[in-house]
Structure 1
Amino acid sequence: MKKPSFISKLAVGATALGVAVAMLPGASANTTYVPNGLSSETAAASCWEVKQNDPESTSGTYWLYTPSMDAPAQFYCDQETDGGGWVMIGRGREGWTEEYFGRGKAEDIFTKPTGPEAFDPVQLSSETVDELLDGDRVDSLEDGVRFRRAVNAEGTDWQNVYAQRINTESWSWTLQANTNWGGVRFENPSSIGGSRIYGLTTGGIASWNQSYNTLRFTSAAVHGWKNGFAYGSYVRGNTDASSYLWTPTGTAPMGFTQVFIRPKINQNDAGFAQIPDSGLAAEDNRQLPNSFTASMRWRTSMESGTGVVSELNTRVQAIAQVGNTVFTGGDFKNVVSASGETVEQGYLAGYDVNSAELVRSFTPKFNGQIKALESLPSGLLAVGGEFTEVNGQPANGFVILNPVTGETDTSLGWDIVNRVSGAVPVVKTIQVQGGYVYIGGSFTHVKGGTGDFYTYSRNAARFNVSTKGVDVTWRPVLNGTVNGVSASEDGVALAGYFTKVNDVNTVKLAYLSPTAGTISKPWVWKPSYPINTTNGGFQFDVQQAHSEVWAGGSEHLIAQYSLSDLSRMSSSITRSGGDFQDLQLDTNTDVMYGACHCGNWVYEGADLYQTPWNTAVSDIHRIRLVGAFDAQTGEVLPEFSPEISGDKGYGVWESFVDSNGVLWAGGDITRSRGSGGGQSTVGFVRFTPRDVAPAAAPSDLQVTTDGTTDELTWTSGTRSRTDYQVLRDNRVIATVKSGTSYSVAHTDGARYFVRSVDNVGNYSKTTPVATAPAPPVEEPVDPPVEEPAPPVEEPVDPPVDNEENPVIPPVDEPAPNDPAPPVVDENPDPADPVEPVEPEAPADQKLVVSGDRWDVTFGLTNIYDRTWRDTNYAYNTGRQWYTRPSSIGWGEPSLASNLSFNWWNQPNAMFLRKELTINPATGQSLVLTTYADDGMAIYVNGKEVHRENLATNATASSMALARVAYSDAKLRPITITIPASELNQGKNVIAAQVHAYRRGESATFDMEATLKNP
């Protein structure tokens, strides 16, 4: 059972820091009280509820508690901005993270919300933020996310940016990932200009100009690869320790930023469930590996065994266990211990499953890389790969070994050959199921038993374990390499490069009969990218799980299909980089591990590579070479959030769960995050299971009372020191860090429970209920004898206003140093000269600036149809138009709207429109400033006003006449002047067509427009 636990740990931490757990006398869950957030017992469900109940509440620290949280915890609430009710979820300057677990100590947010001591970022975990939302979606926040940034180095002026995250269910810090944001609003102080409102944006949170109206969560070389919320390049900053605007280059600084959300939740609607008298059951974490890697005992060499360095020659590509030995195979020259000892054991090595020490008795010798490993029912080790010799004897890419010594075992007589001219026999996948051993790869014939007869079974085959021979009843013929196989009683799933099975079309994925080797059901699946089916969309692996089958492969797609009809149930896409190369099902925990060469983000629910954020995406999470998915629902399990990296970017090619529940991952790995920080872990890493066992439950809960205080005592269930949570009625009211007793203000009939809690979020079952007894009845006391009342003084009449005793009001006397009032000439002489007042000339009017949004489309089929550039063009013509901020285009990373195209689908031109409403006066003119990268034509109200480096009547497929570098184009601005006589009163339209010189070249556009006076 999974139970979020970060908030309870936060509460434990707060108590450890000496935070008082104050109680209001007489308050309990069955007594009406105002959730003011001033104590753990009167915790509110949100900062917004605090503000609604106390409109005079000021910004500061408050206790919050929702049903999704394990205990009340303290947070910082902004109760002034925009009506208040905002909870701070992160703050800092440079050095933010995108990791699921956030950064820093959560209590630092409310103890140090601002100031130079807050520059080191602290971010609540994504789990904590979701608990504050209490099940509501992030995209349902009506006020969006608020980013409060300093706009000057002194931190005296501030900007608020509001933005709504679209297509996002859960919170994540993946703010650098391309996604959709809506309703973006800049509330600027007067020192930097007026406020701005924008619509939909894709990519950075808000990037409309190179000044203050830009909010990019970014990391780049200019910032030392530190994440932060950066302004545009026109804003200046420095590296001073006390500066609120930090940048090593002097420009595009990262401003000190606070991040807020405003969930509008109250206790009455929160729905805390009533606890039965028997108490609550234990609550533990879902079984997943720790996100940090185990200490390195052994690693592979950095050097390749074959001398080849490529994506298909990574260090570890296969992992399996036989007995107490875990074997790793791939393309490595030797293995190295943590102490620096080098052992000349290349391509394949074994390690003790319990100690992770090298098994020195296992010493096979190969002359080529390993692609597949599998434990056979007989206790032998099956090995597949691209080798031709094992232990000094010929071997055709497939061999059986003694798992203790590494000697070749020939008792089964299994072998493969590839009789295609010039082809090399290779086994890339092996699986044991139901008395059979399945193999897949690149071969034409197989043999087994004692004879020399080879049976035709192309690229996939199986051996009968009991007879040792080839199963001649199951002999499929595939026209391409098989990369993955997963068999069950229902059927056999295959993944690879093939497009036909037994001359029946089935592209890259196939589901075969378990008896005949023919297609049992069609697998018409949707690739994540338009492909040529003869060479694209390849799949690397398949795994069956329950009533589903998973597949992973090219264009960054991992997907789950129903076994009943092979229809898609779920899918996820990684960007940028990220073909899935291996799948591994842990049947004990129902977790599917997906390994890839991905190092950025996984878009859960997406199925389209080009724009995964525009499809059915529900969440975006960080992924670093391997991720965890729920095998039944397909959901990403972001609590497993490792950090692994390699030197070539080839990623992880194999994952495996051993008999101790340890997850092994192998591939192009050179470094990982361990429990003590970064460590060198070359070739493979290990992740031990996280703790999911709660401490022993307490017992014998007793409650006594004197009518004022309830005294709770209980018996510990463990010898070691344990933290305890005290629950009253249906809520946690305190965490006890030391001892087995607690005192709380008395409430008649209060129902108490106690449970153990550890530091990783596991909770024991609670004690049964213990009810507060009625207070003792006090004996009546005789009333006191009344003393005589003191004498009453006679009233004194007030002074009378008469001639003898006048009441004189005070008189305001002028101060001796006050200046004399000015003398006003009430009768001026008409002959006195009057100085004329010069009327102010009207200022030029800026109509369009960089960062404004333009309508853009591509590939207009008939450039001669000039209606697209006319003033009254109808947009409902079937042509797809988009709205994006300038600068816009492709081939230049600094653009505000950097359009993503591959070489083969990059358009030659883009077409842009912008509508303006102006009323030009006589003598005024419209001045356009732009540049040509590479060729362009500009139109105003349908009339061409300028053409640069572009042939007359150029079509959508035309290229510019010459190449112009982006940097050169920016240095040669083009100015176009249109007199008022050629403009309309009211609606005017500027249109532009921009052409690249050739495929692969940049094409960019930006413009400013000013209505100038004579």
Structure 2
Amino acid sequence: MKTRRSSSDAPRTPRARNRARVLAAILAAALLPVSLLSSLPMAAATVEAIVRDGTTQLRAAASCWEIKQTAPSAPSGIYWLLTPRMPAPEQFFCDQETDGGGWVLIGRGREAWKEIYQGVGTTAQVRTTVTGTGAFEPRQLSATVIDGLLNGQAPDLLPDGFRLRRATSPDGLNWQEARFKVVNMDRWVWTFSAEHRVASFTFGLGNFSGGLTRSFGTDQLFNRVVTSEAEAQNWTQGWAFGSNIRGTTDASSYVWSATATTGNARPFTQMYLRPKLTQADITFAAPDDAGAPGYSQRPLPQNGAQPTVWGVTGLANGRTGEMNTEAQDFAQIGNTVYVGGNFRYVQRNAAGLDRVEQSYVAGFDVNTGDWVSTFRPVLNGQVKSLASLPSGKLVVGGEFTMVNGAPAVGIAALDPVTGATDPGWRLQLENRITGAVVQVRGLSVKNDWLYLGGAFTHLTGGTAANPVYARAGARVRVTDGTPDAGWNPAFNGTVVAVDAAANGERLYASGYFSMSNNATAYRAAAVQTVAGAPLAPWTWTPSTTSGRDFQLGIQEAGNRVWLGGSEHSLFSFDPQTFARLSGNITRNGGDFQRVAEGGGVVYGGCHCGHWNYSNAFTWSNVGTEWTSADRINLVGAWDAASGDYIPDFNPVMKGRVGYGAWGIFVDSLGKVWTGGDFESSVTATGAGQWSGGFVNFPPRDSAAPGTPTGLTASTDGTTDTLSWTASPGQPSVYHVIRGDRVIATTTQTTIQVPALADARYFVRAADAASNYSATTAVVTPPRPPVTVQLVQAAAEWKYRFALEAPDPAWKTNGFDDSAWNNGTAPLGWGSAGIATQLTAEGTRPLSSHYRKTFTVADPGTVSEVNIVTRADDGMVLYLNGTEVTRVNMPAGTITNNSFATAAPRTNVATANPVRLTLPGSALAAGVNVLSAEVHSNYRSTPDHSFELTATAVLKP
């Protein structure tokens, strides 16, 4: 997958464009453009140009590499990173020194590295303890986090490959740099002990190629990497040296071995990647004003098992082979899940607490896991299959011959509450092949029919008085068990599993047979459900037809037919053409034994371990065309629609012998029950526990929190403050989105962030499982109005100070004031701070006069004009010849010798300024003039002054 390259700048909003237009109109004709520009508030003129140096969430970079390019002197340490594939910024350790820097640490530790998709430990643990003895216990980022750091780039396309920094001496003073590249890895996996092909490698000097990631190098000393686990090293894994390198057993040793003589020592190792992503390489999607949708991870079971409440144990028939495991099938009726198999007891723990003898089939409460003690049927042989009838009865199939003290060969219908045999549903099976026994190994209910698969030849039951011939496969009425005499697939070998198609037109069957009604049906068949049981043509054959091969699990799911069996194979097929659509081979371990479906997920059970190879088709040589090697342990999950392996589900279970999973069932609560010879499992807390025969896995959290409400935003021009109402469900954290990306996370419902002009904010809630809600609708903080200074303080004014009256036109725009004096405000006399002293010979004039012109290109862009001046002692103000206010002046006509009506001192007048707001419509397009006359209360007044500022407020 290639990352997209485009600018990350969000488009300018209509509001931003309007502000820019208004500003341009004002500045275009301003007489003082420098002054006007400098008067604009910074928030309105700022463009978001964040320095992506990784020092804060707001400054999160696309990679450690981008940080190094942005800040070349940045030291190694912890930095914030964010790509479009990550839900929010997160901190990681960056090596900014080695080979130009830019390396992100994805794992570190000594022995006991794991190959699981979810990694080991937390992201915080990986970044905070990167070296030293405290870092010996491995911590590895999850594959999801690593794919996010790569922004979806295929790991095999990384130009610098994978980097290992390995200690070469027990004291940790000497180190080796090793790097390697692989072939065909389209997403991150930790399965390096699988057969990933090595494209090239180096140990500091020289470039080499070839080998597999489980072992490659040029010698058996330090120039080798071995990732496979070994019994001699206590079954631990790591980035081991060659077989001739031995470590020490000391807990503080940087090069460890289980014994002093054991080769392939496990060194303390740090693993780094270097995605060279910058802002130019990534594209974030900016939400629309209505907001963006949320995200919920797909429904899947947790990797951690549900704590054991009850289990089953003991081998009731005394046989120990893989066909006799303790738990083999499940079914649910109401709130009870039934477990069938070869167990003898039900009990609470490994010590046998509350042990009760209840052989072969038992019921457990789906909600609590408690044993249902009212359900007490008595059988004399193992149960291999279960089904629920439309009537609510439970059908059991298997190898028994007696149920509740009466003959019942291979099959019976039971009361789901008590386990009593249903007297209205009777069916007897026979196997007339010499020496053969009756088995019912598969059951499937569809419409009016119960389909059976197993080892039998004749059926008698319901209203059929005489035996009906139907070999290894049959169907009977769900109401009373009457066999259909007109439908006989006549398989020539045992049927292991059956699954009726969703449309009821076919029965899929798998097993040991090779023919059906004398037509070829090698180990798998699609039998039409019309009279005569003809085959739908399916010409597939497995990779080997040695006669010892078989197919054990079959399931229709996701418009595919899934088939699993010998040669470690699980394949899916097109149900129309029967073309093979996908292939999976488990390289180590064993065959697939059960296939089940639930919630769009196909589950495959096997006695397999280690790895599943996707798009592989033969065993034991998986070839070179496989696309991914993923960890699998006894049960795996696949997307039913696409056929893709789902690596998220990777539980840890162990069996009595290791026979794996023979039964899989998804209950009404979404829990996945897995049965076999299981004796232990690991819970969600990482604790080991006893598991008796079966393990169930509760569904993981796949529900996003509710969307926050009531988002508001305010600003003081420097800081934006956001507040919202908490989401329902107590989310773990809130993501604050500005523009196109998350810039902050918080557990609170309010936050302050640096202000940005025309910022578009959204908030969403996220939980610990990385589900997040839809965002709120956009909120933009109301910004301080954009203003332009029309007349500044200490401006230069035209003024006149004389006894004779001025020209009557002195207030108007067209008046020629070139003969007037120029002076800097404040103008006057008698007080400190006067910039221009007014003086006169002889009698002091009673009034002074002032004019100031300014230009406005488009008065329609101005909302209002705010004027601040003073009355010292009295004043009259005019705009374009029209009086706009008078203060401390008499009513009527004002003359040159009119006395002010009050005599405030200058300091008092300054402390009580005259404030006036005029509408923008009072302005004229082009030149405007402010005129003022200041009058004294008496000629000998000790002070007299004038100052004025005028500010235009622009329309939003």
Q: Same fold (TM over 0.5)?
A: yes
Answer whether contact 2:79 2:92 (CA < 8 A) is retained: yes
Superposed, 1:98-113 pairs within 5 Å as 98-113=115-130
Answer whether contact 1:26 1:745 (CA < 8 A) is retained: no
Superposed, 1:581-660 pairs within 5 Å as 581-586=593-598, 589-612=599-622, 614-660=623-669
Please report how far the alpha carbon of residue 719 of structure 1 lies from its aligned counterpart in structure 2 after TM superposition.
7.6
Which of 352, 355, 360 is the equivalent residue of 1:342?
355
| Unaligned 5+ runs, structure 2 | 1-41, 796-823, 826-831, 834-956
Report the counterpart of residue 260 of structure 1 in structure 2.
272
Report the counterpart of residue 240 of structure 1 in structure 2.
250
For residues 180 and 92 of structure 2, the distance between their equivalents in structure 1, rounded to whole angstroms, comes to 22
Q: Report the CA distance shift for 1:275/1:203 in structure 2 as closer, same or farther (over 3 A).
A: closer
Report the counterpart of residue 318 of structure 2 in structure 1.
307
3-state DSSP class of the match of 2:562? Answer: strand
3-state DSSP class of the match of 1:408? Answer: coil
Answer whether contact 1:724 1:735 (CA < 8 A) is retained: yes
| Unaligned 5+ runs, structure 1 | 1-24, 188-194, 789-1014
Is 1:295 equivalent to 2:310 in the alignment?
no
Report the counterpart of residue 514 of structure 2 in structure 1.
499
For residues 217 and 175 of structure 1, the distance between their equivalents in structure 2, rounded to whole angstroms, comes to 6
For residues 105 and 323 of structure 1, the distance between their equivalents in structure 2, rounded to whole angstroms, comes to 39
Largest Rg, 1 or 2: 2
Please report how far the alpha carbon of residue 473 of structure 1 lies from its aligned counterpart in structure 2 after TM superposition.
2.4
Answer whether contact 1:144 1:261 (CA < 8 A) is retained: yes
Answer whether contact 1:285 1:692 (CA < 8 A) is retained: yes
For residues 267 and 548 of structure 1, the distance between their equivalents in structure 2, rounded to whole angstroms, comes to 42
Superposed, 1:184-333 pairs within 5 Å as 184-187=201-204, 195-202=205-212, 204-250=214-260, 251-301=263-313, 303-333=314-344
Which of 57, 74, 77 is the equivalent residue of 2:74?
57
Is 1:708 equivalent to 2:725 in the alignment?
no
Please report how far the alpha carbon of residue 618 of structure 1 lies from its aligned counterpart in structure 2 after TM superposition.
1.6
Q: Report the CA distance shift for 1:82/1:516 in structure 2 as closer, same or farther (over 3 A).
A: farther
Answer whether contact 1:598 1:651 (CA < 8 A) is retained: yes
Please report how far the alpha carbon of residue 414 of structure 1 lies from its aligned counterpart in structure 2 after TM superposition.
1.6
For residues 513 and 626 of structure 1, the distance between their equivalents in structure 2, rounded to whole angstroms, comes to 30
Please report how far the alpha carbon of residue 207 of structure 1 lies from its aligned counterpart in structure 2 after TM superposition.
4.3
TM-score (normalizing by structure 1): 0.71
For residues 719 and 442 of structure 1, the distance between their equivalents in structure 2, rounded to whole angstroms, comes to 53
Q: Report the CA distance shift for 1:680/1:722 in structure 2 as closer, same or farther (over 3 A).
A: closer
3-state DSSP class of the match of 1:110? Answer: helix
Measured against aligned partners, the alpha-carbon deviations of 1:282-337 in whole angstroms (never above 9, x if no partner) come to: 21121111111111111112x20011101100001111112221110111111112
Measured against aligned partners, the alpha-carbon deviations of 1:803-832 in whole angstroms (never above 9, x if no partner) come to: xxxxxxxxxxxxxxxxxxxxxxxxxxxxxx
- What one-letter code is carried by the residue in structure 1 that aligns with 2:392? G
For residues 515 and 84 of structure 2, the distance between their equivalents in structure 1, rounded to whole angstroms, comes to 54
Answer whether contact 1:181 1:205 (CA < 8 A) is retained: no
Report the counterpart of residue 511 of structure 1 in structure 2.
526
| Deviation larger for 614-623 or 369-378 | 614-623
Q: Report the CA distance shift for 1:771/1:425 in structure 2 as closer, same or farther (over 3 A).
A: same
Measured against aligned partners, the alpha-carbon deviations of 1:889-910 in whole angstroms (never above 9, x if no partner) come to: xxxxxxxxxxxxxxxxxxxxxx
Please report how far the alpha carbon of residue 626 of structure 1 lies from its aligned counterpart in structure 2 after TM superposition.
0.9
TM-score (normalizing by structure 2): 0.76
Superposed, 1:451-850 pairs within 5 Å as 451-465=464-478, 468-488=481-501, 489=503, 490-527=505-542, 529-532=543-546, 535-586=547-598, 589-612=599-622, 614-676=623-685, 677-718=687-728, 720=730, 722-737=732-747, 739-776=748-785, 782=793
Q: Report the CA distance shift for 1:720/1:165 in structure 2 as closer, same or farther (over 3 A).
A: same
Q: Report the CA distance shift for 1:356/1:62 in structure 2 as closer, same or farther (over 3 A).
A: same
Q: Report the CA distance shift for 1:337/1:133 in structure 2 as closer, same or farther (over 3 A).
A: same
For residues 158 and 200 of structure 2, the distance between their equivalents in structure 1, rounded to whole angstroms, comes to 12
Measured against aligned partners, the alpha-carbon deviations of 1:814-864 in whole angstroms (never above 9, x if no partner) come to: xxxxxxxxxxxxxxxxxxxxxxxxxxxxxxxxxxxxxxxxxxxxxxxxxxx
Is 1:378 equivalent to 2:391 in the alignment?
yes
Percent of aligned positions that are identical? 42
Measured against aligned partners, the alpha-carbon deviations of 1:755-798 in whole angstroms (never above 9, x if no partner) come to: 1111121212211100132234579663699999xxxxxxxxxx
Q: Report the CA distance shift for 1:722/1:667 in structure 2 as closer, same or farther (over 3 A).
A: closer
- What one-letter code is carried by the residue in structure 2 that aligns with 1:146? R
Please report how far the alpha carbon of residue 263 of structure 1 lies from its aligned counterpart in structure 2 after TM superposition.
1.7
For residues 632 and 27 of structure 1, the distance between their equivalents in structure 2, rounded to whole angstroms, comes to 52
Answer whether contact 2:55 2:80 (CA < 8 A) is retained: yes
Is 1:90 equivalent to 2:107 in the alignment?
yes
3-state DSSP class of the match of 1:222? Answer: helix
3-state DSSP class of the match of 1:292? Answer: coil
Report the counterpart of residue 443 of structure 1 in structure 2.
456
Answer whether contact 1:543 1:583 (CA < 8 A) is retained: yes
3-state DSSP class of the match of 1:74? Answer: strand
Report the counterpart of residue 368 of structure 1 in structure 2.
381
Q: Report the CA distance shift for 1:235/1:29 in structure 2 as closer, same or farther (over 3 A).
A: farther
For residues 428 and 794 of structure 2, the distance between their equivalents in structure 1, rounded to whole angstroms, comes to 107
- What one-letter code is carried by the residue in structure 1 that aligns with 2:273? I
Please report how far the alpha carbon of residue 720 of structure 1 lies from its aligned counterpart in structure 2 after TM superposition.
4.5
Q: Report the CA distance shift for 1:133/1:407 in structure 2 as closer, same or farther (over 3 A).
A: same
3-state DSSP class of the match of 1:114? Answer: coil
Report the counterpart of residue 87 of structure 2 in structure 1.
70
Answer whether contact 1:29 1:728 (CA < 8 A) is retained: no
3-state DSSP class of the match of 2:126? Answer: helix
Which of 398, 423, 443 is the equivalent residue of 1:410?
423
Report the counterpart of residue 798 of structure 1 in structure 2.
none
For residues 420 and 731 of structure 2, the distance between their equivalents in structure 1, rounded to whole angstroms, comes to 52
- What one-letter code is carried by the residue in structure 1 that aligns with 2:224? T
Is 1:117 equivalent to 2:131 in the alignment?
no
3-state DSSP class of the match of 2:522? Answer: coil
Report the counterpart of residue 41 of structure 1 in structure 2.
58
Q: Report the CA distance shift for 1:49/1:293 in structure 2 as closer, same or farther (over 3 A).
A: same
| Deviation larger for 329-338 or 428-437 | 329-338
Answer whether contact 2:387 2:445 (CA < 8 A) is retained: yes
3-state DSSP class of the match of 1:718? Answer: coil
Answer whether contact 1:628 1:638 (CA < 8 A) is retained: yes
Answer whether contact 2:511 2:523 (CA < 8 A) is retained: yes
> Number of aligned pairs?
749
For residues 480 and 680 of structure 2, the distance between their equivalents in structure 1, rounded to whole angstroms, comes to 46
For residues 519 and 167 of structure 1, the distance between their equivalents in structure 2, rounded to whole angstroms, comes to 43
Answer whether contact 2:553 2:593 (CA < 8 A) is retained: yes
| Deviation larger for 30-39 or 269-278 | 30-39
Report the counterpart of residue 969 of structure 1 in structure 2.
none
Please report how far the alpha carbon of residue 437 of structure 1 lies from its aligned counterpart in structure 2 after TM superposition.
0.6
Answer whether contact 2:443 2:453 (CA < 8 A) is retained: yes
- CA RMSD for the aligned pairs? 2.3
Please report how far the alpha carbon of residue 26 of structure 1 lies from its aligned counterpart in structure 2 after TM superposition.
7.5
- What one-letter code is carried by the residue in structure 2 that aligns with 1:590? G
3-state DSSP class of the match of 1:50? Answer: helix
Measured against aligned partners, the alpha-carbon deviations of 1:862-882 in whole angstroms (never above 9, x if no partner) come to: xxxxxxxxxxxxxxxxxxxxx
For residues 532 and 339 of structure 2, the distance between their equivalents in structure 1, rounded to whole angstroms, comes to 31
Answer whether contact 1:399 1:414 (CA < 8 A) is retained: yes
For residues 127 and 519 of structure 1, the distance between their equivalents in structure 2, rounded to whole angstroms, comes to 47
Answer whether contact 2:731 2:766 (CA < 8 A) is retained: no
Q: Report the CA distance shift for 1:205/1:30 in structure 2 as closer, same or farther (over 3 A).
A: farther
3-state DSSP class of the match of 1:312? Answer: helix
